[in-house]
Amino acid sequence: MSCGGPHDTDCGEVLDHLYEFLDNEMAEGDCAKLRQHFDECSPCLEKYGLEQAIKALIKRSCGCDDTPSDLRSKVLARIDNIRAGQRVGEPLLAAEGAGHGDGGLLAAGPVAAAPVD
Ligand SMILES: [Zn+2]
């Protein structure tokens, strides 16, 4: 991807540092080199504009109230894990529901191991 014209800074180098430039993580001297390159090279300028737009979009969508579905499923999985942990940790509760099958085997362990006094 190149406009074919000669540049002080190589197109590949510009694209390698594009995210650093977008995040303002570059030294001022390097920023100037990239800005100059964008002035001379329209394919890189186009790429830069696109990344900048995506970055703005991500920032905006993170700021809104709508919870990403990915995060939602992670939270739900976490809740399931906690529930499962509680069931194992409380054999007496599980024993009460042993008739349902699920958890019956787990409950059998501690109950059978109880000292017969
Ligand atoms: Zn370029």
Question: How many residues in total does the chain contain?
Answer: 117
Ligand 1 centroid from CA 39, angstroms: 9
In total, how many domains does the chain have? 2
What pLDDT, on a 0 to 100 scale, did the predictor assign at position 2? 53
Question: Can you give the pLDDT at residue 90?
Answer: 52
Cα of 2 vs centre of ligand 1, distance in Å, is: 5
Q: For residue 75, what pLDDT is reported?
A: 82
CA of 56 to the centre of ligand 1 (A): 22
Residues 6+ apart with CB under 8 A from 103: 87, 94, 97
pLDDT (0 to 100) of residue 95: 52
Q: Around 7, how many Cα atoms within 13 Å sit in the side-chain half-sphere?
A: 22
What pLDDT score does 103 carry? 52
Please check whether residue 47 is in contact with residue 12, taking contact to mean a CB–CB distance below 8 angstroms. no
Which stretches of the chain drop beneath a pLDDT of 50? Answer: 1
- DSSP assignment of the chain: ---SS--SS-HHHHHHTHHHHHTT-S-HHHHHHHHHHHHH-HHHHHHHHHHHHHHHHHHHHHHSS---HHHHHHHHHHHHHHHHHHHHH-HHHHHHTGGGSTTHHHHHHHHHHS---
**In angstroms, what is the span from residue 101 Cα to ligand 1's centroid?**
66
Question: How many angstroms does the Cα of residue 50 sit away from the middle of ligand 1?
Answer: 14
- Is residue 1 a part of any domain in this protein? no
57 C-alpha to ligand 1 centroid (Å): 24
| Alpha carbon of 66 to ligand 1 centroid (Å) | 37
In which domain, by residue range, is 82 found? 69-113
31 and 55 belong to one structural domain: yes
> In this structure, are 24 and 56 located in the same domain?
yes
Q: Is residue 4 assigned to a domain?
A: no
Q: What is the Å distance from ligand 1's center to 52 Cα?
A: 16
